[in-house]
Amino acid sequence: MKGIIGLQRNYFKESRTPFFTNEEFTVNLFRYPSGIEAIEITNSRGRMVVLPYMGQMIWDLEFDGVDLKMKSMFAQPKKADSIIDTYGCFAFHSGLISNGCPGPDDDHEMHGEMPCAEMDSAWLEITDSSVKICGRTEYIKGFGHHYLASPSVEMFKAKGSIQMTMAVKNLSGEVMPLQYMCHTNYAYLENAEMKQNIPNSAFKLRESIPDHVKPTDKWLGYNKKLLNGEALLKAINHPEMYDPEIVFFADELNLYQEVAEFEMVSPDGITFFTRFSTAELNYATRWLLHNVNQHVASFVLPATSRPEGFSAAEKAGTLMMLGAGEERTFTIVTGKK
């Protein structure tokens, strides 16, 4: 049995307002002091906070008393057009026309137009075993691309994981480019081991240096050791070396697995995981950053291409193209085991 409940912006007040409850789930609506609307869903394992009208960003995620989100400077989401102006969430949808760090020949925002997109509508789909937050936003330009993005995120009964989905449909009469990444900003677990069902040799260190990365001599030396094999990065046990960020890429995952699964396992037994189809998302990025203001260990960021900007994907031949009326859907399952 499934129920669908439409949402309106005037439902969201400054204080938490109970909206739905049953034996397993509680749904609360509220608005942050910054004015951003939020939905809090709890199950018997934890809680999730989603921003239904801001790119359907997942702001918080906790299971079994463990915070899955990165450490950042942001105590709350901020009204922003670019993700770098509100970079404190657990996850966001990166893309969709362009994705990643813009290269010297690019003019797009960091991670594209979708992360902070204003959603046109939002609703809940509730069953006995799950609560799903759904939304839609139409991107349209008078002399440009036109698409419909339909993201959703689902929390399940008695599970410590969620399912994130993004569907993109080309509404124009012409072919449009598509780059997508599911950008999960996981908490940094000291001395955690990173595992996956593809070979470690599939990962290659990023050699390009984006504008936001300011190299130091120590960082350049560590990168050199990683490149020539003097140092390995299977466990996150050198935080002093992850400032600025360390990034690895893994390409053409379908050569190894139909379903890729990645884990980050801490010495005290906490395990985070992400699972996805390589037919949908055939590229993976690993992103580590540890400094005074930010601690993050994104052990995998599934994507349709490397996140080095539009021009780099076009040059590499990994830029996905959607025909007129064509739709693509991307799904990941992620959380705590």
Boundaries of domain holding 177 = 2-336
Residue pLDDT, tens place only, 119-174: 999 999 999 999 999 999 999 998 899 999 999 999 999 999 999 999 999 999 99
pLDDT at 229: 82
| CA nearest to 261, candidates 161, 147, 127 | 161
pLDDT at 231: 74
pLDDT of 196 strictly over 90? yes
pLDDT at 1: 65
pLDDT of 59 strictly over 70? yes
Q: Which range among 4-8, 30-34, 209-213, 301-305 shows the weakest confidence by mean pLDDT? A: 209-213
| CA nearest to 185, candidates 75, 33, 57 | 57
pLDDT classification of 236: cutoffs 50, 70, 90? very high
Give the mean pLDDT of 312-331.
97
How many Cβ atoms sit within 10 Å of the Cβ of residue 6?
Answer: 9
What is the dihedral sign for C-alpha 211, 212, 213, 215? Answer: positive
Residue pLDDT, tens place only, 256-294: 999 999 999 999 999 999 999 999 999 999 999 999 999
What is the dihedral sign for C-alpha 217, 219, 223, 229? Answer: positive
pLDDT classification of 10: cutoffs 50, 70, 90? very high
Mean pLDDT of the chain: 96
pLDDT of 335 strictly over 80? yes
How many Cβ atoms sit within 10 Å of the Cβ of residue 264?
Answer: 25
Instruction: Please report, as a single letter, which amino acid is at residue 267.
Output: P
| Counted domains in the chain | 1
pLDDT at 7: 98
pLDDT at 152: 98
Q: What is the DSSP string of 276-288?
A: EETTT--EEEEEE
Give the mean pLDDT of 16-30.
96
Give the mean pLDDT of 40-55.
98
Whichever domain contains 283, its CATH number is 2.70.98.10
Give the mean pLDDT of 98-120.
96
pLDDT classification of 211: cutoffs 50, 70, 90? confident
What percent of the chain clears pLDDT 70, i.e. is strictly above it?
A: 100
pLDDT of 74 strictly over 90? yes
pLDDT classification of 100: cutoffs 50, 70, 90? very high
